[in-house]
Amino acid sequence: MHTVRFRDPAGSIRIGEWYGDGVSFGGETYDLDEVDVLPPTEPTKIVCVGRNYADHAAEMDNEIPDRPLLFLKPPNTLSGHGDTVTLPAGKERIDHEAEIAVVIEKAARNVDADDAMDYVAGFTCLNDLSNRDDQQQETNWVRGKAFDNAAPMGPVLATPEEVPADAAIELRVNGETRQSSSREHLAFSVPDLIEEITTYLTLEPGDVIATGTPAGVAPLEDGDTVEVELEGVGVLEHDVRIPE
């Protein structure tokens, strides 16, 4: 089942079922143009993983690290399916990064990799928008990764059983495919990531792990339409606005 968070015509936030062209809750079904689709979770934090695909590490002139390269995106970075994302003005390069996002179901601390999937509520799509201008000048990546609406996510939450171990992920800009890979190419698997992260910090219910992006990252331009498609989940779509 695909669950969706949405704001209904009365302004109430609901969690319902997704049917592709509509959502349902409490015996009522709404067309998508009647509701606002929201990010499928409200995390306290998004734990992101850098250089988790060998081809992306190579295109950035780097290697896969010995242990997962971790950084954080705070809740202000969230945006949803169908949103128009306003990017920081005056930057030369803000890239798209398609990612498989893992949503945590229950509090997790010191979790062994063998038990890690017991803590996963499901999967969704995420675009880790990256301001390269500032990322290359700082070590903590606050300006580069944590600007407002820098993590479009959605449209739904799919259960772990619905997302294959070799699930394909693809990103398109204005219909043109720019990134294409699969879950099986992750350098560090989802269970390994959960084990490593929870050694250092507690993942709370609703928190997100963004598992890294494959090769093909590239700059976005004003007016672009971005689609991130994950097998078993569906398509996250959002537009881009860059102020002059």
Query: Which of 2-6, 58-62, 75-79, 106-110 is the least confident region?
Result: 58-62
Phi/psi at 51 (5° precision): 55, 50
- 112-143 burial, b at 16+ Cβ within 10 Å, e below that, comes to eeeebeebbbbbbbbbbbbbbebbeeeeebee
Shared-domain flag, residues 56 and 173? yes
pLDDT at 23 over 90: yes
Report the run of H or E that residue 103 belongs to, with start and end.
Answer: strand 98-104
- In sequence order, the 6+-apart residues with CB closer than 8 A to the CB of 137 are none
- 31: domain CATH number is 2.30.30
The answer to whether the pTM exceeds 0.85 is yes
Triad 5, 170, 88: Cα angle to 5°: 70
Q: Are strands 78-79 and 36-38 parallel, antiparallel or unpaired?
A: unpaired
**Whole-number average pLDDT of the chain:** 97
- In sequence order, the 6+-apart residues with CB closer than 8 A to the CB of 238 are 79, 80, 81, 82, 83, 84, 85, 127, 152, 225, 226
pLDDT at 65 over 90: yes
Shared-domain flag, residues 120 and 7? no
- 191: domain CATH number is 3.90.850.10
At residue 1 the predicted structure's pLDDT band, cuts being 50, 70 and 90, is confident
Residue 147: domain span: 39-241
Which pLDDT tens digit goes with each residue over 116-160?
A: 999 999 999 999 999 999 999 998 999 999 999 999 999 999 999
Both structure tokens of 161: 């059983």
Residue in 68, 80, 17, 94 with CA at minimum distance from that of residue 193: 68
Shared-domain flag, residues 33 and 46? no
DSSP β-bridge partners for residue 128: none
Cβ pair 152, 236 in contact under 8 A:
yes
Radius of gyration of the chain (CA): 17
Q: How many CB atoms lie within 10 A of CB 84?
A: 12
Number of domains making up the chain: 2
Shared-domain flag, residues 124 and 19? no
Shared-domain flag, residues 168 and 194? yes
Region 18-44: mean pLDDT is 96
Which pLDDT tens digit goes with each residue over 191-236?
A: 999 999 999 999 999 999 999 999 999 999 999 999 999 999 999 9
Q: In this predicted structure, what is the pLDDT of residue 242?
A: 97
